[in-house]
């Protein structure tokens, strides 16, 4: 039993070192907030690749940004409908749904009465509206998260030592 605890402690220490490798609290807070905000993009499947590219472009900590991205996945799914509704209010002149998407929840077979082009067109409009709403909220949310996380991470002794060396 003791051997498992030592292995677990060693693994946690390696993860901690990987996440804080020479990073200041401010830089780690920025990395985590950008990863979290990108993880909330309302189109499933995009955030992981986008986090990879952003981390490479801005030399951010790759494990930290991906950890924040994966932590945001439940929020991504939960925010799809509110972001679509907000995007719909921001773009009132777009054509309204010719397809009753709520009917699909009750009877998925109703999809067969519509052409695939109609469904794809409607889903494209909904995704565009959700992305518009996300774009408007992403920068302020990332800024607030960065400020809050910087204050919290400055209290972590390992990170405070890195900041003192800078």
Helix ranges restricted to H, the chain = 2-19, 25-39, 47-58, 62-71, 73-90, 101-106, 116-153, 157-165
Residue 111 DSSP code = G
- High-pLDDT (> 90) share of the chain, %: 43
What confidence score (pLDDT) does residue 99 get?
52
What confidence score (pLDDT) does residue 19 get?
58
CA–CA separation, 53 and 60 (whole Å): 10
Work out the pLDDT band at 2, boundaries 50, 70, 90.
low
Beta-carbon contacts of residue 103 (< 8 Å; ≥ 6 apart): 110
What confidence score (pLDDT) does residue 137 get?
95
Residue 97 DSSP code = P
pTM as predicted: 0.74
CA–CA separation, 35 and 55 (whole Å): 9
CA–CA separation, 71 and 32 (whole Å): 10
Residues 19, 67 contacting (CB under 8 angstroms): yes
pLDDT by residue (tens digit) across 41-72? 998 889 999 999 999 999 998 999 999 999 99
What confidence score (pLDDT) does residue 45 get?
87
């Amino acid at each position: 039993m003791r051997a498992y605890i030592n292995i677990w402690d060693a693994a946690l220490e390696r993860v901690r070192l990987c996440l804080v490798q020479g990073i200041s609290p401010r830089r780690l807070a920025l990395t985590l907030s950008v990863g979290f905000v990108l993880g909330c993009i309302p189109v499933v499947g995009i955030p992981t690749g986008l986090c990879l590219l952003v981390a490479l472009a801005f030399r951010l900590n790759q494990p930290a940004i991906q950890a924040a991205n994966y932590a945001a996945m439940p929020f991504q799914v939960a925010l799809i409908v509110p972001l679509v509704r907000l995007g719909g209010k921001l773009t009132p002149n777009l054509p309204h749904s010719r397809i009753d998407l709520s009917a699909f929840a009750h009877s998925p077979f109703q999809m067969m009465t519509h052409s695939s082009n109609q469904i794809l067109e409607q889903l494209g409009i909904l995704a565009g509206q959700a992305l518009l709403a996300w774009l408007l909220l992403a920068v302020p949310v990332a800024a607030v998260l960065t400020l809050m996380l910087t204050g919290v991470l400055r209290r972590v002794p390992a990170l405070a030592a890195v900041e003192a060396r800078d």
